[in-house]
């Protein structure tokens, strides 16, 4: 099939490359000439394992092209997939400006029947409104499809080529069948629904996963107070198939370009039809508060006085294996520390440059090496679970620090890792350790 993908962000670029890998002829379009130029030079604007190799292969085999010229690409395609951004507006509502702009440009380029699918996460009703918009500009025939995307950054290629399921929202069988045929090589688990349900599946899935994270984070907070270990609790819960083991990792809360945006958007979508999504409101609130978990621990350790301290930050990306820093918990944590007179030093193996631009303030000491962050620090906070940190030599680490204090916001280290070190170690939802020995809460206090 001949496919145009509009938007070369995470979703668009990964999808475009993977559709080409399936043997389709794909043109990826973006308005951003700089991005297209990079792609044409064989450079990938995002850090995503495996993507460059797959893009190079499909380009050299002639199935993948990049351009800024939307109308030409659309005219040469049977299927047009919109994967442009839907960033949040201050109200939390998704901003559909890019979707609408692209829709108008598609309408003006139409030259016969096409399937127009929306992969961007859009509120219920958007596909129908976009169809109306296109219909108001052209009498050429087309079908609308809702094609929600479930890929995760860092494992986007794998998630796209081996998805748990494909969801196709269609209002007629012919278009649905064509989309099923396109995705059949990926999985047998293809769910065809009406358009509005498909749009809802995406929001409901992300909201549910965010709920699992906030749930386990609250359980972690209680574990800390009663002297239990949340990793064991999650393991014990996860074996129950009805619960499932994934997305039960306690930490400093979810970030990224999807969960924060989509949870707020769903609250807004519900609000627009006079429904207050109380549970999801709490999920968002808990997530916000969880980011301060690290700060609360630092304050406990330093008796409430952080001013004048040197604190190292390990990890700035919202999760490992990505250079994406959108809505990363590291931002608020670092801003809080800087605003409270702390000297902050920071390092990330991949996301440092992106974070510098995102942070936008002066005063942080940016480090090129993990160990430099720890040099003369009063405490070190691990905020992203990069492998590099898990493999660190803790004895070497403590030897360069002013005080051997480690706050592990992602539960990277195990109790035995800390044995034989001098570290005071706090993690999330697990007993704190002093030189590798568990600090017990007396049963009397419970």
Q: Which residues are known catalytic residues? A: 258
Which residue, 318 or 359, has its beta carbon nearer to ligand UDX?
A: 318
Nearest approach in angstroms of CB 363 to ligand UDX is 25
Q: Are 318 and 327 in contact (CB under 8 A)?
A: yes
| CB-based closest residue to ligand UDX | 258
In three-state secondary structure terms, 329 is: helix
Contact 342, 307 (CB under 8 A): yes
Could you tell me if 248 and 233 are in contact, meaning their C-beta atoms sit under 8 angstroms apart?
no
The backbone torsions φ and ψ at residue 418, rounded to the nearest 5 degrees and listed phi first, read: -90, -15
Neighbours of 112 (CB within 10 A): 9
Backbone angles phi, psi at 92, to 5 degrees: 100, -20
Cα atoms found within 13 Å of the Cα of residue 333, Cβ hemisphere only: 36
Helices (H) and strands (E) in the chain, counts: 19, 16
Per the rule left: phi > 0, alpha: psi between -120 and 50, beta: everything else, 126 is alpha
User: Could you tell me the smallest distance in angstroms from the CB atom of residue 422 to ligand UDX?
Assistant: 29
Residue 309 near residue 340 (C-beta atoms within 8 A): no
Q: What gap in Å lies between CA 157 and CA 151, rounded to an integer?
A: 8
- Closest CB to ligand UDX among residues 138, 205: 205
By C-beta, is 143 or 199 nearer to ligand UDX? Answer: 199
Q: How far is the CB of 153 from ligand UDX (least distance, A)?
A: 4
Residue 444 DSSP SS3? helix
Site residues (vs ligand UDX, CB under 6 A): 149-153, 206, 209, 213, 247-249, 251, 254-256, 258-259, 318-319
- Rounded distance between C-alpha atoms, residue 385 and residue 396, angstroms: 19
Nearer to ligand UDX, 77 or 206 (CB): 206
Nearer to ligand UDX, 244 or 363 (CB): 244
Closest CA to 317 of 306, 325, 326, 305: 325
Which residues lie closer than 8 Å to 24 by C-beta, 6 or more apart? 1, 2, 3, 63, 182
Report the nearest approach of ligand UDX to the CB of residue 292 (Å).
15
The residue (of 142 and 314) whose beta carbon lies closer to ligand UDX is: 314
CB of 51 to ligand UDX, least distance (A): 14
Q: Please report how close the Cβ of residue 320 comes to ligand UDX at its closest, in angstroms.
A: 8
The nearest distance, CB 15 to ligand UDX, in angstroms, is 11
Tell me the C-alpha distance between 45 and 431, whole Å.
41
Choice between 255 and 312, CB closer to ligand UDX: 255
Pull the structure tokens for residue 210. Answer: 């965010």
The CA–CA distances, whole Å, from 415 to 241, 418, 436, 439 equal 28, 6, 6, 12
Beta carbon nearer to ligand UDX, 315 or 403: 315
Considering the complex, what minimum distance in angstroms separates the CB of residue 121 from ligand UDX? 8
């Amino acid at each position: 099939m001949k496919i145009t993908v509009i938007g070369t962000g995470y979703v668009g670029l990964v999808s475009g490359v993977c559709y080409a890998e399936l043997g389709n002829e794909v043109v990826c379009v973006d308005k951003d000439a700089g991005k297209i130029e990079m792609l044409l030079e064989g450079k990938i604007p995002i850090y995503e394992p495996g993507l460059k190799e797959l893009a190079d292969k499909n380009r050299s085999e002639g199935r993948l092209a990049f351009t800024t010229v939307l109308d030409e690409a659309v005219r040469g395609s049977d299927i047009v997939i919109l994967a442009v951004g839907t960033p949040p507006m201050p109200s939390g509502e998704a901003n559909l400006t890019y979707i609408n702009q692209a829709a108008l440009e598609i309408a003006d380029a139409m030259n016969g029947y096409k399937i127009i699918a929306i992969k961007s996460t859009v509120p219920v009703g958007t596909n129908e409104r976009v169809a109306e918009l296109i219909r108001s500009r052209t009498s050429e025939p087309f079908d609308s499809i809702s094609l929600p995307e479930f890929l995760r950054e860092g494992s986007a290629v794998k998630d796209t080529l081996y998805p748990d399921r494909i969801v196709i929202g269609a209002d007629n069988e012919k278009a649905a069948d064509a989309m099923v045929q396109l995705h059949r090589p990926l999985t047998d688990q293809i769910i065809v629904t009406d358009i509005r349900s498909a749009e809802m599946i995406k929001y409901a899935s992300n909201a549910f996963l965010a709920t699992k994270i906030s749930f386990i984070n609250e359980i972690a907070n209680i574990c800390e107070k009663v002297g239990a270990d949340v990793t064991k609790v999650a393991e014990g819960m996860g074996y129950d198939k009805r619960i499932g083991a994934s997305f039960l990792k306690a930490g400093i809360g979810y970030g990224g370009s999807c969960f924060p945006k989509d949870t707020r958007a769903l609250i807004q979508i519900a609000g627009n039809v006079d429904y207050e999504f109380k549970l999801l409101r709490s999920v968002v609130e808990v997530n916000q508060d969880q980011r301060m978990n690290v700060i609360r621990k630092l304050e406990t350790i330093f008796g409430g006085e952080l001013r004048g301290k040197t604190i190292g930050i390990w990890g700035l990306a919202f999760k490992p294996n990505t250079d994406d820093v959108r809505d990363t918990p590291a931002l608020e944590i670092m801003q809080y520390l800087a605003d409270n007179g702390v000297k902050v030093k920071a390092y990330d193996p991949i996301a440092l440059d992106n974070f510098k631009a995102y942070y936008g303030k002066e005063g942080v000491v940016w480090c090129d090496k993990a160990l430099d962050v720890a040099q003369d620090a009063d405490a070190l906070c691990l905020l992203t679970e990069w492998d590099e940190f898990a493999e660190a030599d803790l004895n070497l680490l403590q030897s360069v620090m002013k005080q051997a204090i480690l706050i592990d916001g992602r539960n990277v280290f195990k109790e035995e890792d800390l044995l034989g070190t001098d570290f005071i170690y706090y993690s999330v939802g697990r007993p704190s350790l002093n030189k590798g020995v568990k600090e017990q809460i007396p049963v009397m206090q419970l």
